[in-house]
Structure 1
Amino acid sequence: MASRFPEGKQVQLRPRKGHDMKWSCDKHGEPIKFYCKKHKIPICHPCATKDHSQKPCKLDDIEDVIFERRRQLDEKRPKILELQKQMEALNTKIKTTSTSGSAHLQTINNNIQASYYDKIKSVEEKENRIIRVINEEADEEIRLVNEKREKRIKDCNIEREKERSIIKDKEAKLLSDAKKISEVASKKIKDLTNENQHIINTIKNIESTMKRINQHDETLVNEAHQVLASIDENLNFNVHQDVSDCLDRIQIEVERVKFVEGEVGGEYYGRIDGYIGKWELVKSIHITSVNYPFVRGLVSENDICVQDVDNNGMYVTNINTQHTEKVIDEGLLITSCAPIDNNVIVCGKWRDDCTGDRLDGFITLYDRQWKEIIDINIPRNEYGFYCSVYVDIDSDRMIITGQSYQSNIYVINPANDKVVNTITMQDKEVFGEIQALSSGDIVVNTGYGGCTVISRSGEEKAVIHGNELDAPEYSVDKLTDTLYITHRVRNTYSVDQVSRDGIIQARRIVEYVKSDRTNFMGPCLVTPSGNLVGCDGDKLHLYKKTFTL
């Protein structure tokens, strides 16, 4: 083992190449001359001659080893210094990203509060107007009307508080959703901050160790290989880019978050959306009272219309109470349904007795007790005796409807049953469901090739291609205009999320296995609150989206 010459035996040696010639062999007292690569120790000339002269020992000049070790450390130093600068800069970016995300989410909170403040104010103004009218009426008959006035005022106040409570509950839920998103983003940024600080501390420790071992040749030779191994083991030189990419992804996902609001079926809805998220199964609802269930649409946030293809009976399943009720006895096949407002539902139908130049009994308005209000007819384009008519409601509460295997789409005012506009598609025919977007455009199922987005003038704006082996089903989110497309691959239904421009945002966001009870594939519906409801032919599956990073 190498050491310094003992006292009294110092030999004056002329250093060369910067080598400390006072470094000597413990065994022979001779200057260290070589480095044995096999045993990884420095040795003197007698050691080399006696103990390390035979193969497989390979000797290097100790001065070359020293300079090589220094060169290796010096090569690492610029990378370490550069990484240190990058990690320090990354701290600034982390703080900027955190500030930007917090500001954006605060804007979401402000938008929610501003929107619901206006709605609460509107409710209060409406009830105040009623109270003023009541007071004017009460002045005409002092005693009787005063009693009546007080009672009605009390009822109005109760109703106002009820509506105000509902609005505040919805506001609280949205603010809670926004807070959860903020917490997810904050936790991710905190984790990155801790990771970044750990690397900075590791770099400082390595730099300190390098400075220490570089002060003496003996320490350098004995410990450099360990330091080099530690650098390679503990430092990921790509970490700067990895963390930076993660921060960019966080910022993009947070900025996708938005507060969306609108009216569906005469009711106001607001929610946090815009992000892709992760869909989680909330619950599954058995619909055993229906022999061969086929989902036809939804008429409220919780009410799903399901037809029994075996006898054409119509049922409504409430996904909140999980209760299924028969609303229409055996009769005509329903193709689609949609709420016009809180009181009226429109249904499209299939029939096999088409005659004449009008389609009678293919569009029917029902009240909420499923009593017929009126039938609406549209022009008939001859296509045999079998015909299907599909319906939906646009943002102006107009009925959008079309006949299968025809190119015309009709816009009907339900107040007077009049056709207010006829839209003709070019080189396309109605194959299935017709759904209105909040933008005013219309999505039409045009067959195995997919669905087509058209303007109110009939112009083709986008084509969303489907599975050519099995016609997919479509459902539109009325608040975001996002499309959810259901495919069947053998015995599994899968749902893709697509923008109204035809851009696929996410594939297979939910999947469920087909039941043996039916071979009919229905659409995966999207509720106004943004939940998905799919039917496997036996159960309804309710999915809720959560924000993830």
Structure 2
Amino acid sequence: MAARFPKGNQVQLRPRKGHDMTWSCDKHGEPIAFYCKKHGLSVCDRCAIKEHCQKPCELDDIEDVIFERRKKLDEKRPKIQELQKQMKALDLKIKTALAFSDTNLQTVNDNIQASYHNKIESVGEKENRMIRVINEEADEEIRLVNEKREKRIKDCHIEREKEQKIIRDEEEKLLSDAKKITEIVSKKIKDLTNKSQHVINTIKNIESNITRMNQRDETLVNEAPQVLASIDENLSLNVHQDVSDCLHRIENAIQGVKFVEGEVGGEYYRRIDGYIGKWEIVKSIHIPSVVMCVCGLVSEDEICVQDGDNNAMYVTNINTQHTDKVLDGRVHVTSCVPIDSNVIVCGKKRMGSMDDRLDGCITLYDKQWKVIRDISIPRNGIGTNVTVDVDRDGMILAAQIDQSNIYVINPADDKIVNTITMQGKVRGVIQALSSGDIVVNTGYDKYTVISRSGEEKTAIHCDEWYQWSQCHVDKLTDTLYITYWDGARNTYAVDQVSRDGIIQARRIMEYVKSDRTPVVSPCLVTPSGSLVGFDGDKLHLYKKTIVL
């Protein structure tokens, strides 16, 4: 391969024709003389003789090759120059095109950005519009919610004021009742104080007269008979004992006064009671002539009464004095009592049923006297007469007349949760006490208090009740009111009895028996403490006042 010799080489090359450059063989160090077309190599003489002297090698003189190739290169120069000129023009076009492209694409880019900027702004404006709408709708909803809230709060305030007014009115009434009792006691004690003071002053005057008379015989002789008569008169009055007895009665009466409260028929009641007082008639209410007996109390003001001919049921309101028919005469209701402010339970007597269960003898009604459902209990014997009451826990007590079982029924699901078996038999009504015990009519003139296990705790009896009697219990005080017929006087009388069987007061009420009915109806006790008696023609409402 041809190469330039480095500086300092000992071989001195001869200059070639037409050239002043040195060029020698890399292998032999001799000047290049030929060019082998076959191998495309520049060679020296020795290379030419040894390696390229025969076919297919074809050698040309190096100078001719140089000249020829220089000539060809020189021939290409105008084209190169033209190409250079063209390329310069092309470069200018490229730069122009680039500038145009940059300008145009920048415009496009600016238009794109402007368009999307507008779209983004449009979306933003749309969002703002939607937010305004949302805020307006939310403000309207908030306004409506606030109005609803304010209305509910206002309704709560109105309801609170209404309930507070009822409570304040009730409190005011009870305080007024307590004040009346206090005034009666104060007046009685004041009267006793005056009576006692009068005696003290009289005795003091007598002592003064005795002292004065003893100072002169004449005065003693003349005035002694009159003074002695005064002494005998005051001693015979026995004021000390009378006042002492009266104070004892006052103490006993006041000791019994108490504030009682509790739930009856789903409503809460409070009152002053516990004392033995005087029952005074407030009003009498005429009822339809077909009514023969009273069945029970279903609210503070509503009393159920029954037609004696076809057993239709009526309700008399003791405030309005109106009587309305609520049930036809297909069933005979023996007892009725409210479970709560919305539901009434009735015990019934049915004819002709011989199944092993008493169906249709216990019925739940709403306050419009529409049937909610019937409750059945096991049947024992041939009777179909069932009496009911409601205990302190809202459970129904139900008993079949002339049988020993009392069933405790949950009105929520009609299931019997307990069966109380007593030693005797139920002969009439059963009444629940607040203590949990039960008063059972076990005879014409006998009532028995039993525990929830059926154990007899107290037997209540009076010979005067022999011509049939009825019992009703005050649910707040557990006081029993026994109504009976006094044949000698042809009157109904009511005795007040404690749950321990102690007769606290005889004939607290007495009213003439009407010829219209042979049935003894119970004297009902309202939750507020009034008594309602039935003589066969009218209902009589009584209220109690303290007597000292």
Q: For the superposition of Structure 1 and Structure 2, which TM-score range results when normalised by the shorter chain? A: 0.7 to 0.9
Confirm or deny that 1:485 pairs with 2:482. Answer: yes
Instruction: State the distance in 2 between where 1:402 and 1:345 align.
Output: 17
Q: Helix, strand or coil: the match of 2:385?
A: strand
1:463 aligned to 454, 459, 462, which one? 459
Is contact 1:292–1:517 with CA below 8 Å preserved after alignment? no
Report percent identity of matched pairs.
Answer: 73
| Corresponding residue for residue 448 of structure 2 | 452
Is contact 1:139–1:146 with CA below 8 Å preserved after alignment? no
2:414 aligned to 413, 417, 423, which one? 417
Deviations 1:232-284 (A, max 9, x none): 12444732222122212211211210000000001000000010100000000
4+ residue runs of structure 1 moved beyond 3 angstroms? 138-141, 234-237, 466-469
Is contact 1:424–1:457 with CA below 8 Å preserved after alignment? yes
Is contact 2:260–2:477 with CA below 8 Å preserved after alignment? yes
| Corresponding residue for residue 169 of structure 1 | 169
2:387 aligned to 386, 390, 413, which one? 390
Tell me which amino acid in the other structure corresponds to 1:455: S
Q: Helix, strand or coil: the match of 1:387?
A: coil
2:399 aligned to 397, 402, 417, which one? 402
| Corresponding residue for residue 353 of structure 2 | 354
Deviations 1:199-256 (A, max 9, x none): 1111111111111111222322232222212211244473222212221221121121
Instruction: Report the CA distance between 1:140 and its aligned residue.
Output: 12
Relative contact order: is structure 1 or structure 2 higher (C-alpha 8 Å, sep ≥ 6)? 1
Instruction: State the distance in 2 between where 1:139 and 1:298 align.
Output: 54
Instruction: State the distance in 2 between where 1:223 and 1:201 align.
Output: 19
Instruction: Report the CA distance between 1:462 and its aligned residue.
Output: 0.9
Instruction: Report the CA distance between 1:372 and its aligned residue.
Output: 0.3
Structure 2 gap ranges (5+)? 1-137
- Once the two structures are superposed, the pairs formed by residues 107-186 of structure 1 within 5 Å of their partners are 141-186=141-186
Instruction: Report the CA distance between 1:530 and its aligned residue.
Output: 0.7
Is contact 1:139–1:145 with CA below 8 Å preserved after alignment? no
- Once the two structures are superposed, the pairs formed by residues 44-443 of structure 1 within 5 Å of their partners are 141-236=141-236, 238-288=238-288, 290-383=289-382, 386-426=383-423, 428-443=424-439
Q: Helix, strand or coil: the match of 1:300?
A: coil
Tell me which amino acid in the other structure corresponds to 1:277: G
Instruction: State the distance in 1 between where 2:478 and 2:201 align.
Output: 49
| Corresponding residue for residue 88 of structure 1 | none
Instruction: Report the CA distance between 1:531 and its aligned residue.
Output: 0.5
Tell me which amino acid in the other structure corresponds to 2:225: H
The 3 A distance-change label for structure 1 pair 139 and 169 is farther
Deviations 1:293-325 (A, max 9, x none): 210000000000001121111100000000101
Is contact 2:445–2:469 with CA below 8 Å preserved after alignment? no
Structure 1 gap ranges (5+)? 1-137
| Corresponding residue for residue 121 of structure 1 | none
Instruction: Report the CA distance between 1:147 and its aligned residue.
Output: 2.1
Instruction: State the distance in 2 between where 1:499 and 1:266 align.
Output: 24
TM-score, length basis structure 1 = 0.72
Instruction: Report the CA distance between 1:163 and its aligned residue.
Output: 1.0
TM-score, length basis structure 2 = 0.73
Is contact 2:437–2:449 with CA below 8 Å preserved after alignment? yes
The 3 A distance-change label for structure 1 pair 533 and 221 is same
Deviations 1:130-180 (A, max 9, x none): xxxxxxxx9994133222222222222211111111111111000000000
Instruction: State the distance in 2 between where 1:321 and 1:228 align.
Output: 65
Is contact 1:281–1:543 with CA below 8 Å preserved after alignment? yes
Tell me which amino acid in the other structure corresponds to 2:278: K
Instruction: Report the CA distance between 1:353 and its aligned residue.
Output: 2.1
Deviations 1:34-92 (A, max 9, x none): xxxxxxxxxxxxxxxxxxxxxxxxxxxxxxxxxxxxxxxxxxxxxxxxxxxxxxxxxxx
The 3 A distance-change label for structure 1 pair 318 and 236 is same
The higher radius of gyration belongs to 2
Tell me which amino acid in the other structure corresponds to 1:326: K
Instruction: State the distance in 2 between where 1:442 and 1:310 align.
Output: 32
Tell me which amino acid in the other structure corresponds to 1:380: R
Is contact 1:199–1:235 with CA below 8 Å preserved after alignment? no
- Once the two structures are superposed, the pairs formed by residues 516-531 of structure 1 within 5 Å of their partners are 516-531=515-530
Q: Helix, strand or coil: the match of 1:223?
A: helix
Higher mean alpha-carbon deviation, 397-406 vs 214-223, is at 214-223
Q: Helix, strand or coil: the match of 2:271?
A: strand
Provide the aligned C-alpha RMSD in A.
1.6
Q: Helix, strand or coil: the match of 1:446?
A: strand
Instruction: Report the CA distance between 1:451 and its aligned residue.
Output: 1.1
